[in-house]
Amino acid sequence: MKMVFRWFGEGNDNISLDQIRQIPGVEGAVWSLHDISAGAEWPCSRILEVKKQCEESGLNIDVVESVNVHEDIKLGLSTRDKYIDNYRKTLKNLSKAGAKVICYNFMPVFDWIRTDLHKKLSDGSNAMFYDKSELENISSDELINRILESSGNFTIPGWEPERLSVIKNTFKAYEGFTEEKLWSNLEYFLKCIISVAEEYGIKMAIHPDDPPWSLFGLPRIVSNRNNIKKLLSLVDSEYNGLTLCSGSLGSNKENNIPELVREFGKRIHFAHIRNVRIYDNGNFIETSHRTKDGSLDIYEILKAYYEVGFDGYVRPDHGRHIWGEETRCRPGYGLYDRALGIMYILGIWDAITRNK
């Protein structure tokens, strides 16, 4: 497995590439061009600029997270073809620069959702929290305001200003929208994209829905074992693959992450490792990576990756905010807890490897 670390780009991250390269085991930056709107082609010059920055710090640019899918593609509007065409061009441009895996998602309107970005844990650190009953009683407007107010000076991936400025219209466009429609639009997208990804040697890795259930009446389909199986069969190619996010899928107790790894191992190109503690009332909080601190068995998950011969990319997903970095870092993306997570993941990995 190849360890990588998310980096939001020059001037857009409080963490530097030099700090990232000093975390043991990290080989690459997981990056994106966050200022380019969904649906636009990524210019080669901008891609090469990031490549140069990363390579100067000894990091590769193999994994891109994300190339966002334009809402019209998810909605299946007639305008989708021009955005899909741009997506193909972006794939080509990325492959020329040497990118290998693209993480993306197909969630309507919102990306990930939490109700509190800085919920205090018993040790005085804080982390992102999801309150189920609160979410059921809050309007989408209230939620947006709350996320924006507590995100500090950072734009949060999935909550970009250009997305939020048109969100009322986007919501309206999804009125009466069904899971079936979303499935058929995803299938259309994959059938246009995967053959091109094959041609350019780029593995597509869809990120599951976070959390993996429907919210605000919007359908969400990348949420459980049966749906993942269906998704992979829509285009049966290894280039139509998964980002297996343990924390996203794992916030539903019905999802058994080690089993998913064993079943879909060959199609997992990117592993997000995160622990969450799930409470009986359905709430959950993101915890340290340590198995004991959350509800997921990180050791079992890594064992499953080892058993399927996983040689893809892995990154610590979100972390807590610790050692006073809360006001300086993007929620979920502090330096310290993710670096500690890497040492935990690599510690387990090394032990498993040595024992076999």
Where in the sequence numbering do the catalytic residues fall? 207, 245, 272, 317-318, 333
Whichever of 62 and 317 has its CB closer to Mn ion, that residue is 317
Q: Which of 51, 100, 220, 272 binds Mn ion (CB under 5 A)?
A: 272
Least separation in angstroms between CB 234 and Mn ion: 21
Nearest alpha carbon to residue 2 among 26, 29, 32: 26
- Distances in whole angstroms, Cα of residue 293 to Cα of each of 120, 296, 332, 352: 14, 9, 17, 21
Whichever of 206 and 245 has its CB closer to Mn ion, that residue is 245
**Paired tokens of 40:** 């636009």
Length of the chain (residues): 356
Quote the CA–CA distance of 331 and 338 in Å, as a whole number: 12
Least separation in angstroms between CB 103 and Mn ion: 8
With CB under 5 A as the contact rule, which of the stretches 17-25, 53-61, 180-188, 268-276 interacts with Mn ion? 268-276
Told to check if 286 binds Mn ion by CB under 5 A, we report no
CA gyration radius, the chain:
19
With CB under 5 A as the contact rule, which of the stretches 54-62, 133-141, 289-297, 309-317 interacts with Mn ion? 309-317
Whichever of 108 and 208 has its CB closer to Mn ion, that residue is 208
Place of tokens 């829509």: 234
Quote the CA–CA distance of 36 and 228 in Å, as a whole number: 29
Q: Which residue is nearest to Mn ion (CB)?
A: 245
The dihedrals phi and psi of 326, each to the nearest 5 degrees, come to -50, -40
Whichever of 267 and 272 has its CB closer to Mn ion, that residue is 272
Nearest alpha carbon to residue 305 among 261, 344, 241: 261
Size of the site for Mn ion (CB under 5 A): 3
Least separation in angstroms between CB 268 and Mn ion: 13
Least separation in angstroms between CB 247 and Mn ion: 6
Quote the CA–CA distance of 69 and 307 in Å, as a whole number: 33
Least separation in angstroms between CB 318 and Mn ion: 7
SS3 257: helix
Residues 305, 265 contacting (CB under 8 angstroms): yes
Q: What amino acid occupies position 256?
A: N
Decide the pairing of beta strands 313-316 and 268-273: parallel
Q: Which of 62, 286, 317, 337 binds Mn ion (CB under 5 A)?
A: 317
Whichever of 208 and 258 has its CB closer to Mn ion, that residue is 208
Place of tokens 């597509």: 204
Least separation in angstroms between CB 180 and Mn ion: 26
Considering only residues 226 through 265, tell me which ones interact with Mn ion, judged by CB under 5 A: 245
Whichever of 93 and 288 has its CB closer to Mn ion, that residue is 288
Nearest alpha carbon to residue 80 among 192, 165, 166: 192
Q: Which residues of the chain form contacts with Mn ion (CB under 5 A)? A: 245, 272, 317
